[in-house]
Amino acid sequence: MASNFDFLKSIDKELFSLIIDSEKLFRDEYFNQCAVQLRIFAEKTAKKVLGEVQKEMTFDDVVNCLKDKIETQEQKEFVEDLFFIKRAGNKCAHGEDIAPTEVLEAIKRAFEIAISYSYSKKRDEKIRKLQFDETLLITQKPLKENKLVDEYVRLASEQKAELLNLKQGEFNSNVEKTIDGRKDESFVNNVVRYKKTNKRKKELTPSQKRVKEKIKEARKTVKQKVNKIEEPKKTQKKNKKNKKQKNNFLKHLIFIVFVTISLFFLTKMMFFY
């Protein structure tokens, strides 16, 4: 299984073994034991960096000696990381509980300590460019594998979006061919059918859930566009009906007026003669 500290294996097997045990304790949620193990790792590393160490020297003595020799910002950060891990380990060694987030921070600082130590041994610039990955700590899967999964999710998202655009184009091309202003609902039905036939049985990952939400938003947008196309047609039909009714009323009114006038003149003529 992969680890954030794989680079350390070829440089110092003893330190690599200590840090691997710390990672395992963290994954198993033994946070107090993990903090104590990290303290041992930090003390061993500090003594290796200092070089000549007397047997009676404690971890505090070693760290203070390194503090007196600080010349660069990198050395200052190295000592600060040692102090942080030492305090966390001492707290757990005395029976106090520690938060998982604090242990995670200690592991990240142990990573920076390992980077500084390894670079001092090999002077390889690639080591200084390494980045700590929390997902790798939990899953033990290489970062490149995670990126490959993200790539598959991205491609799936693009394919689904392309399918939606294709179906929308087919629907729009058939709008004018419908009768009485009624729109073909096959597009919406096809989308629902596509969703049912392609429904995953397995639990979706966070990335897949985000893709699903985007598809849902796209479907909502399509339905809104359909409604916008339908509304003018309905309004036009209603206006046409009202206009027809108005014309019929006018015709009847004119007919009644004409009949009334005709009867008036006819009656007058009869009385005249």
Rounded Cα gap, residues 42 and 19, in angstroms: 9
Q: Residue 261: is it exposed, middle or buried by C-beta count within 10 angstroms (0-12/13-18/19+)?
A: exposed
Rounded Cα gap, residues 75 and 174, in angstroms: 71
93 Cβ contact list (under 8 Å, min separation 6): 36, 39
Q: How many CB atoms lie within 10 A of CB 24?
A: 15
Closest C-alpha among 178, 26, 48 to residue 103:
26
| The pLDDT value given to residue 264 | 73
| The pLDDT value given to residue 183 | 47
| The pLDDT value given to residue 196 | 53
pTM of the predicted structure, to 2 decimals: 0.52
3-class SS of residue 18: helix
pLDDT tens-digit profile, the chain (273 residues): 789 999 999 999 999 999 999 999 999 999 999 999 999 999 999 999 988 777 788 999 999 999 998 899 999 999 999 999 999 999 998 888 899 999 999 999 999 999 999 999 988 899 999 999 998 998 887 655 545 455 556 666 777 777 777 777 776 766 555 444 454 455 455 555 555 555 445 566 776 777 778 777 877 776 776 666 666 656 666 676 777 777 777 777 888 887 788 777 777 666 655
| The pLDDT value given to residue 37 | 96
| Residue 259 tokens, joined | 């009949």
**Rg of the chain in Å (alpha carbons):** 40
Rounded Cα gap, residues 189 and 249, in angstroms: 43
Three-state SS for 221-243 is HHHHHHHHHHHHHHHHHHHHHHH
| The pLDDT value given to residue 266 | 72
| The pLDDT value given to residue 112 | 96
| The pLDDT value given to residue 45 | 94
Per DSSP, 201 falls in state: S
